[in-house]
Amino acid sequence: MEGKRILVTGGSGLVGKAIEKVVADGEGRPDEQWIFISSKDADLTNAADTKCLFEKHKPTHVIHLAAMVGGLFRNMKYNLDFLRNNLHINDNVLHSAYEMGVQKVVSCLSTCIFPDKTTYPIDETMIHNGPPHTSNFGYSYAKRMIDVQNRAYYEQHGCKFTSVIPTNVFGPHDNFNIDDGHVLPGLIHKVYSAKQNGTALSIWGTGQPRRQFIYSLDLARLFIWVLREYNEVDPIILSVGEEDEVSIKEAAESIVAAMEFKGELIFDSTKSDGQFKKTASNHKLRKYLPDFQFTPFNKGSSGASESSRDVYWLFTGSYHYDITVGTVISALKCHVMMQQAAL
Ligand SMILES: NC(=O)c1ccc[n+]([C@@H]2O[C@H](COP(=O)([O-])OP(=O)(O)OC[C@H]3O[C@@H](n4cnc5c(N)ncnc54)[C@H](OP(=O)(O)O)[C@@H]3O)[C@@H](O)[C@H]2O)c1
């Protein structure tokens, strides 16, 4: 039997890099050829470019990650761009996959796209049950359309196109930009700068909102499982359990402890909190994979350990972070240097 050619769009991003690493570290199989692409290979907002890319690589399978992605504040500023770019990218990728006879596509949604007013925990059946939070409606509606398209491609053409719904992802190759990035890398960057400058740490919002965080390499393993084993068109939530949800304040305190920051913490409540919580159920995932082990967000959160040993995931390498440590520090230094050069 001929092997699989697996095209990963968004291969240069946080999740794509994690899949590349997991594949390189032994999850890949001899009959699989993995192709990781970025926007340098094709602008997926452009239909002709996307078609050319598919004709060039002739994938049998696709993991579709490419998207305009950003944290709360970038979403609030550019809702139209998030909507249009992501609608174009998703339509181009799914239609090229259909035209090329791709056997399976796994696309990526997000728990950010669930209805703002809802009951908890949220599950896979509730995606379309009401408007998303106003802060990121552009991104959310574009992502929701992937699920609609998957159903339509299945009903009209029998395509095996499905999607996964991860919670907030953290790991190597994250975006450490304070204005544009997600909460954890943004906080790490702010603590780094506050330490350098001897200033207080300003945390945007009240610190009360709650989030579930998934380590990118755990997510990568689950993506590969979905590609090989999961046969539903309906999406599946990829998340740690509800009991592992933490507040932004707790997350900030963990980072502060891990980085041994001794200065003052200020919560700037003039800045938006975004959606208060989006607690997701991983019940469906647990039915398939009851024994999957997630990397703990903060090993020392019980308070039993010394502060410098909290948040092992960040700096000590106790879990998978031996490589991450170097990546985080150099990414931060690089970013700070670039900012200074721009001044
Ligand atoms: N990060 C999270 O917390 C999170 C949570 C839930 C879901 N997700 C979803 O997971 C997926 C991956 O997210 P991520 O955090 O890995 O994102 P990321 O680090 O921002 O990477 C985005 C990727 O998409 C590519 N891309 C963007 N615009 C493109 C275009 N016009 N044409 C071709 N490629 C383009 C980028 O290529 P370049 O490097 O060349 O720009 C990059 O490889 C996304 O679909 C996102 O919505 C992420």
For 40, the domain range is 4-169+212-238
In a domain, 290, yes or no: no
pLDDT at 155: 98
Active-site residue, selected from the candidate residues 78, 120, 139, 230: 139
pLDDT tens for the chain, 343 residues long, are 579 999 999 999 989 999 999 999 999 999 999 999 999 999 999 999 999 999 999 999 999 999 999 878 889 999 999 999 999 999 999 999 999 999 999 999 999 999 999 999 999 999 999 999 999 999 999 999 999 999 999 999 999 999 999 999 888 777 777 777 778 888 888 888 898 889 999 999 999 999 999 988 999 999 999 999 999 999 999 999 999 999 999 989 988 887 788 999 999 999 888 888 899 999 999 999 999 999 876 653 344 344 333 333 442 332 223 223 334 444 444 444 444 444 3
Q: Number of folded domains in the chain?
A: 2
Q: Rounded to the nearest whole angstrom, what is the distance from the C-alpha of residue 73 to the centroid of ligand 1?
A: 17
CB-based contacts of 143, cutoff 8 Å, min separation 6: 67, 86, 90, 109, 110, 112, 113
- Ligand 1: atom nearest CA of 166 is 6
- Residue 128 Cα to ligand 1 middle (Å): 23
Q: Name the 3-class secondary structure at 70.
A: coil
Q: Is 197 part of any domain?
A: yes
3-state secondary structure 72-108: HHHHHHCHHHHHHHHHHHHHHHHHHHHHCCCCEEEEE
How far apart are the C-alpha atoms of 336 and 80, rounded to whole Å?
Answer: 29
169 in contact with ligand 1, CB cutoff 6 A: yes
| CA 172–ligand 1 middle distance (angstroms) | 14
What tokens appear for 228 in the block?
């090989």
Clarify whether residues 9 and 95 are in a common domain.
yes
User: Which two structure tokens, joined as six digits, stand for 62?
Assistant: 């696709």
Where residue 206 sits, what CATH number does that domain have?
A: 3.90.25.10
Ligand 1 within 6 A of CB of 15: yes
User: Is 287 contained in some domain?
Assistant: no
pTM to 2 decimal places? 0.89
User: Within this chain, do residues 217 and 251 fall inside the same structural domain, yes or no?
Assistant: no
Q: Are residues 257 and 190 in the same domain?
A: yes
Torsion of CA 162, 29, 289, 235, to 10 degrees: -10
Q: Are 94 and 194 part of one and the same domain? A: no
Q: Does residue 74 sit in the same domain as residue 191?
A: no
pLDDT at residue number 306: 42
- 198 plus 144 within the same structural domain: no
Q: Is the CB of 17 under 6 A from ligand 1?
A: no
Please spell the DSSP secondary structure of 13-25, one letter per residue. SHHHHHHHHHIII
CA of 66 to the centre of ligand 1 (A): 4
State the closest ligand 1 atom to the C-alpha of 16, by its place in the atom list counted from 1.
16
Euclidean distance between the first and final Cα of the chain, in Å? Answer: 58
Whether 149 and 206 map to the same domain: the answer is no
Positive or negative CA dihedral for 258, 260, 262, 263? negative
Check if 214 has its Cβ closer than 6 Å to any atom of ligand 1. no
Assess whether 108 and 159 both reside in one domain. yes
Both tokens of 39, joined, read 């926007």
Q: Burial level of 249, CB count in 10 A (0-12/13-18/19+)? A: middle
Both tokens of 79, joined, read 């809702």
Ligand 1 contact via 89 beta carbon (within 6 Å): yes
For atom 5 of ligand 1, the residue with the nearest CA is 168
Asked if the structure places residue 72 within a domain, the reply is yes
Burial (Cβ within 10 Å: 0-12, 13-18, ≥19) of residue 55: exposed
Interatomic CA distance for residues 1 and 31, integer angstroms? 9
Same domain, 232 and 126: yes
**Could you tell me if 112 and 136 lie in one domain?**
yes
- The CA 182 to ligand 1 mean position distance, Å, reads 12
Question: In this structure, is residue 319 part of a structural domain?
Answer: yes
93 C-beta closer than 6 A to ligand 1 = no
- Is residue 330 in some structural domain? yes
Q: Is 321 a known active-site residue?
A: no
Q: Which atom of ligand 1 is nearest to the CA of 111?
A: 6
The pair of structure tokens assigned to 199 is 């200033």
95 and 107 fall within a common domain: yes
Q: In whole angstroms, what is the distance from residue 16 CA to residue 224 CA? A: 11
For residue 85, give the ligand 1 atom closest to its CA.
Answer: 31
Distance between Cα 150 and ligand 1 center (Å)? 19
- Residue 194 sits in the same domain as residue 309: yes
3-state SS assignment for residue 137: helix
Inside any domain, residue 73: yes
Residue 91 lies in a domain: yes
Look up the CATH number of the domain holding residue 221: 3.40.50.720
- Residue 301 is predicted with a pLDDT of 39
From residue 9, give the alpha-carbon distance in Å to each of 14, 50, 61, 223. Answer: 12, 10, 11, 13
Contacts for 119 with CB less than 8 Å, ≥ 6 apart: none
Mutate to test the pocket of ligand 1, among 7, 8, 9, 15 (most ligand atoms within 8 A of CB): 15
b/e map 66-87, b = 16+ CB within 10 Å: bbbbbbbbbbbebbeebbebbb
